[in-house]
Amino acid sequence: MFGLATTVIQTGSIGGDLNVTAAPDPLDKLRDQIHLPVKAFLTDFELYLEHVGDMRAQLDLIPQGMWPIIDTIAYRHTDTFLNQSGMRDARPLAGNVDVRESLAFLLKVAWERGYLMTHFHRLKYIPRPSRPVDPLAIMDMIIAQGVPARPGRSLGNAIEVTLQRAVSMCTAPEPFTRTLRMLGDDLHATVQPHLNLGCDTVRTVHAYGILAARAEATIGTKPPTA
């Protein structure tokens, strides 16, 4: 489901019927051990979303005040992708479906997943909104986390390693390709030549969802100002 890698053991033969099995690569074993907690987290997260219900029920877990952020980020990165890939003037898809709107929808889902994953990672459940959020304050905090207070500082530095790895698994070429196909073969065929750029774009928007959840939690724990 998440494009998780499987270990392949190579076999060969020497002197007729004698089969020799190559020893497993120690690095492959180490990678599997590193990925196990992330695989478990993603599995638990998907099971939780199944328990919550359909997409509409899951959207109820996102505060209404977040929607200006979701729309702004989704459309901004959609337009950046279209410009960088040269797809700005891409023809409408089958059924006159708009390429820009299709990609923006995909990025909105990526943002929501990053947001929901963050709360689930912290609490093992996703709390329903109990108070309004200030989208400007949240965006200011996200931007502040990426301002280079020291050389090499980036938005990714503020994301927990588990979530970084989870997002990497969810946005690898294989799962991204499956997502495109779920949205339509026509969209998949249109984006396929720019697959790596598409993966990078989705990964970035996942990260914004993660950072929005972190900012919301941080603002909610601050004492009110006089």
Instruction: List C-alpha distances in Å: 215 to 66, 70, 137, 157, 225.
Output: 12, 14, 8, 14, 17
Length of the chain: 226
Q: What is the pTM of this model?
A: 0.79
Mean pLDDT of all residues in 90-113: 85
DSSP 97: B
Summarize pLDDT for 12-53 with one digit per residue, the tens.
Answer: 323 334 344 455 566 666 666 667 889 899 999 999 999 998
**By CB neighbour count within 10 A (0-12 exposed, 13-18 middle, 19+ buried), where does 196 fall?**
exposed
Nearest to 111 by CA among 65, 145, 77: 77
Q: Is 8 helix (H, G, I), strand (E, B) or coil?
A: coil
**By CB neighbour count within 10 A (0-12 exposed, 13-18 middle, 19+ buried), where does 137 fall?**
middle
How would you classify residue 53: left for phi > 0, otherwise alpha for psi between -120 and 50, otherwise beta?
A: left
Q: Which residue has the higher pLDDT, 28 or 171?
A: 171
Is the confidence at residue 2, as pLDDT, over 50? no
Q: How far is CA 15 from the centre of its chain?
A: 50
Q: Which residue has the higher pLDDT, 197 or 19?
A: 197
